[in-house]
Amino acid sequence: MNRNSLLPIDSFIDELFGKSISDFIGSDLTFNQPSVNIIEADDLFKIQLAAPGLEKTDFQISIDKGAIHISSAKKEDEKTESGKYTRREFSYKSFKRRFKLPENIDEDTVQARYENGVLEIDLSKKQKVDSVKTIEIG
């Protein structure tokens, strides 16, 4: 067998393994985490999550075991019929983010809103109780 006959296979293998998975499946199907800003003020923490193209009904937010869980799943189905053929494309976009919460968060007052492609979550801090309790010695 001539070594030169293997060269096209060698170059194909080099080309195949020199690429990332996103080169094969396209950028629409790669799993990107949305960018997040976390801002601390005196009375609250604010989470800002950039997620354009979604609707507020696409998000699920929950608090469990001292962490806030933010997720989204959106399925899009595009169907084009032209003459004798039908083209159908499916697109799935999803993400999950989890953030550990400090102990001073008041879980009962958490508020969220989605506006202009940004999900914003306000996590109020519990009010400090500066009361002094006197203990009588018996």
List Cβ neighbours of 45 (8 Å cut-off, separation of 6 or more).
38, 39, 102, 105, 122, 123, 125
Mean pLDDT of 91-96: 81
Please state, as a whole number, how many other Cβ atoms lie within 10 Å of the Cβ of residue 68: 21
pTM over 0.85: no
Q: Does the pLDDT at position 125 exceed 80?
A: yes
Report pLDDT digits (tens) over 19-54: 544 444 444 444 578 899 999 999 999 999 999 988
Please state, as a whole number, how many other Cβ atoms lie within 10 Å of the Cβ of residue 101: 15
All structural domains of the chain: 31-124 (2.60.40.790)
Check residues 6 and 102 and name the one with the higher pLDDT. Answer: 102
